[in-house]
Amino acid sequence: MKSHVIDLEGYRNDHGVVIEEVSVGKWKIECKHCDKHHIQSRRGILNNSHSKSCEKFKPHNYSGLDRWDAIIRRVYGITLEEYDNMLYEQDNGCAICGTKDDVVEGRRLAIDHCHDTGKVRGILCSRCNQALGLFCDSVDNLESAAKYLKKHK
């Protein structure tokens, strides 16, 4: 059964080689990791996606830590090791409130950075990170807010 949209026969990715189309949009792959045949969608093949059918195959962009490392290198210019060291220096918590993990939002601690220079300042929980953003990263605004709270204690 051949699809008229695209012929992937012989196409290679990190998973293996496409052998044939088995149904519309589904292709049989000869896996180079376990030497078995797996079925994968056209999109999965072209995107080099992880295949649930092969436990041995996980492309470089699938691992959570590898992916996080790639993201923070690209976006913030720091390595995973630098992130871990920064977090350790902050007693493994938010630099402002000390929260150890960000379970409220269900997300990892955020990397705070200056939007003008791009320089990383520290690691914050999502609430403190958002609060700084709401105060436009302004020391004057934050000091005014602190005075206001002290006045109305």
Q: For residue range 76-110, what is the model confidence (pLDDT) as tens digits?
A: 889 888 998 999 999 989 999 998 865 555 567 89
Cβ atoms of 39 and 27 closer than 8 Å = yes
Residues 6 or more apart whose CB falls under 8 angstroms from that of 120 comprise 76, 77, 78, 86, 111, 112, 113
What local confidence, expressed as pLDDT, does residue 3 receive?
Answer: 45
CATH of the domain at 109: 3.40.1800.10
Cβ atoms of 54 and 36 closer than 8 Å = yes
What local confidence, expressed as pLDDT, does residue 122 receive?
Answer: 96
Structural domain boundaries, residue 40: 1-62
In this structure, the answer to whether residues 50 and 82 fall within a common structural domain is: no
Instruction: Specify which residues 124 forms β-bridges with.
Output: 110
In this structure, the answer to whether residues 54 and 73 fall within a common structural domain is: no
Is the confidence at residue 63, as pLDDT, over 90?
Answer: no
Cβ atoms of 109 and 100 closer than 8 Å = no
Last residue within a domain, chosen from 14, 44, 62: 62
What local confidence, expressed as pLDDT, does residue 32 receive?
Answer: 82
Q: How confident is the model at residue 54 (pLDDT cuts 50, 70, 90)?
A: confident
Last residue within a domain, chosen from 62, 93, 111: 62
In this structure, the answer to whether residues 38 and 92 fall within a common structural domain is: no
In this structure, the answer to whether residues 52 and 70 fall within a common structural domain is: no
In this structure, the answer to whether residues 141 and 68 fall within a common structural domain is: yes
Last residue within a domain, chosen from 62, 82, 113: 62
In this structure, the answer to whether residues 71 and 5 fall within a common structural domain is: no
Q: How far apart are CA 42 and CA 55, in angstroms?
A: 20
In this structure, the answer to whether residues 42 and 84 fall within a common structural domain is: no
Q: To the nearest 10°, the Cα dihedral for 136, 142, 145, 149?
A: 140
In this structure, the answer to whether residues 135 and 70 fall within a common structural domain is: yes
DSSP-assigned letter for residue 111:
E
In this structure, the answer to whether residues 141 and 75 fall within a common structural domain is: yes
Is the confidence at residue 15, as pLDDT, over 80?
Answer: no
What local confidence, expressed as pLDDT, does residue 147 receive?
Answer: 97
pLDDT, tens digit, for every residue of 117-152? 889 999 999 899 999 999 999 999 999 999 999 999
User: What pTM was computed for the model?
Assistant: 0.56
